[in-house]
Structure 1
């Protein structure tokens, strides 16, 4: 599959915490950082996500907010 989003982060699923409607999926990247995504339980099932499996976090944002501490 080809997509237009350039920010694609490949990693390994380290945890899936299912809620009543959505799941929190944590992906560990090669450098040790983690990406957390909230997706529907249906999406987890249809993608076949499981702990230890591979996944790609695709980030497409029209704006990025930055902040500093006062």
Structure 2
């Protein structure tokens, strides 16, 4: 699948925490870095996500903030 988003990072799912409507998916992207995504429980089920799955994290944001 091709996407217009340029921020695509490969990783491995390390944890899935279910919620009432949204669940959280933790993805190890290497270098001791983990990205956490909050997505609907429906999306988790439709994608059949499971711990250990190789996935791509796609970041598409209208704003990116940097603090120091």
Aligned pair count reads 68
Q: TM-score, normalised by structure 1?
A: 0.90
Q: TM-score, normalised by structure 2?
A: 0.92
Structure 1: unaligned runs, 5 residues or longer: none
In structure 1, the residue matched to 2:39 is 39
> 1:1-70 maps to which residues of 2 (within 5 A)?
1-68=1-68
Q: Take 2:50 and 2:25, find their aligned partners in 1: how far apart are those partners?
A: 9
Structure 2: unaligned runs, 5 residues or longer: none
Structure 1 segments, 4+ long, off by >2 Å, are: none
Give 1 or 2 for the bigger CA radius of gyration.
1
